[in-house]
Every structure is written in structure tokens, then in C-alpha cells.
Amino acid sequence: MSAFRDKAVRRSVGQAIHHYDMIADGDRIAVGLSGGKDSLTLMWILHERLSRIPIHYALVAIHIDLGFEATPAPRIEAYCKEMGYNCRVEYTDYGTRSHSEENRENPCFLCARLRRKRLFEMADELGCNKLALGHNMDDIIETLFLNMCYSGEMSTMVPCQPFFKGKLVVIRPLAHVDEGGIDQFAQDHDFPDFANPCPTAKTSKRREIKKMLNGLYETNNKIKGNIFRSMSRIKPDYLLKPRSMEQGLTAGM
């Protein structure tokens, strides 16, 4: 294990938590634990921090099983028990329903919407005021390009976002860590491999955007950092004036 890499990832998480004021003393945090390397890294770091910081918060991992046959849910539950994580597994049919004959056009959209709604509900049921998700720097950049290309707007997921008038706050402590750093962290800590059973996991629009961006990154190693920084260095005077709904409708005819 590289102590330098390990420290760099944990330091980046700490910086993001501090910069966006994500966690306070007494918080009860639900952690969306999909079983991927991002969520496993997130859970490990949030749990490890409790032993060395002056504030205390409670953690509960949430795993939503999507109803596919090759489910990793029992293994994830056993892993959490072994690690000493408080964990709740919710068995659903969200994945199979989203991939049914009635919803062939966009299974990812429906599945994500159902999972997000249930995560919010479970966080509330468990008395949590924060919901931590494992989205990293690459996810934030990719969402920007997804929204530009397929929704015609400039927006992305933000590191700290209140919902329901602040009753629940979604936090993304891995916002300053890129995918490569998380890959190495997961390898160094020998995290288990919980295969994603979703049949469309490797054919989504996000995968197409990722492939495009990786092509750019290969030409210049500063591009990823520059794109990420650009999202907090906005110059409104050099962007187009917002269009009214009527203008948009006319232009599309």
C-alpha cells in the first residue's frame, strides 16, 4: 500500500468536507452503499475519520438491491458486518421494473429516479439529516457534459445540496477525488469486488461521455482539473443571455 496515495485521498476528502461544510457534530449520516469502489471508499473514509477528528457523527450504510438475480446484497451485508458498519439492505424490483417491456426506452432514468426517492425515504426513516453519496470528480464533470449534450443546460451535481427546506442535505465527500485515485485506494485497501448485475451498466449515455472525455484527457493531463475548476469560475458576462420559453419553442420549430 502506498501511504502517500492513501494520505492524499483522505486529505482531499477532508478538504472537501471542510470547504463545503458538509459534516457537523451530532450529524446522523446515511451512506448510499452500492458496492462499487466509490461507495466502499466513501464508507471506509467516513468511518475511519471518526477515530481522529474532534467531532462525532453516526453512520448507517444503505444498500438498495435492484431485484436482479445475481444480486450482491447478501455479500455486501456480510462485508458490512465484518467491517463493523451499521447497514440496512432494502430489497426492491427497481432494476427489473426499469428494464421491463413497458420501459425499454430509458431504463437508467427510471431506475435512478426510484433509487433516489427510496434513499431519501430511508434516510428520513432512519432519522438521518445527511445522505452521503459516492460521486467523485469524474462523475461531476461527466454530469456537466451529459446535461449540456442531452438536456441543453449547463448544470451538474453539487458537493453539498439541501433538500426539503434543509431537512435533508445530500453530501458528496469524494468531490475532490478523481476516479484514478479511488481505483488505487480501493486496490490498496483490498476492497471486495461486488459485480454490478445491471444489464445496461456498460452501455449508458454516461459511458459514452466518459469515453469522449478520456480521449481529451489523454492529450493533456491538465484538462480534467481545468474543467473541474471552471465550474467554480463562472463569467456570466461571457455566456449567452437566458432565453424565454417562447423563444425556445420558436427556435425549435
Confidence of residue 250 (pLDDT cuts 50, 70, 90): low
**CA angle at residue 213 from 10 to 228, to 5 degrees?**
45
What would the mean pLDDT of 205-227 be, rounded to a whole number?
95
Q: Nearest to residue 175, comparing CAs of 13, 51, 39, 48?
A: 13
Do strands 28-32 and 58-65 pair parallel, antiparallel, or not at all (unpaired)? parallel
Residue 66 clears pLDDT 90, i.e. is over it: no
pLDDT band at 11 (very low <50, low <70, confident <90, very high): very high
Q: For 185, phi and psi rounded to 5 degrees?
A: -60, -45
Question: What local confidence, expressed as pLDDT, does residue 1 receive?
Answer: 53
**Mean pLDDT of all residues in the chain?**
91
Report the range out of 190-199, 224-233, 234-243 with the highest average pLDDT: 224-233
In terms of C-beta distances under 8 Å and separation of at least 24 residues, what long-range contacts does 232-241 make, across chains too? 239/154
Q: Nearest to residue 134, comparing CAs of 6, 33, 23, 9? A: 33
- The tens digit of pLDDT for each residue in 28-55 reads 999 999 999 999 999 999 999 999 999 9
Instruction: Provide the CATH topology of domain 3-251.
Output: Rossmann fold (3.40.50)
What H or E segment, with its residue span, contains residue 108? helix 107-125
Read off φ and ψ for residue 93, nearest 5 degrees: -115, 25
Q: What is the pLDDT of residue 186?
A: 95
For the chain, the domains span 3-251
pLDDT confidence of 238, banded at 50, 70, 90? very high
pTM of the model: 0.91
Amino acid at 105: E
CB 229 within 8 A of CB 98: no
To which H or E segment does residue 96 belong? helix 94-98
Range 195-227 burial, b when 16+ CB lie within 10 A, else e: eebbeeeeeeebeebbeebeeebeeeeeebeeb
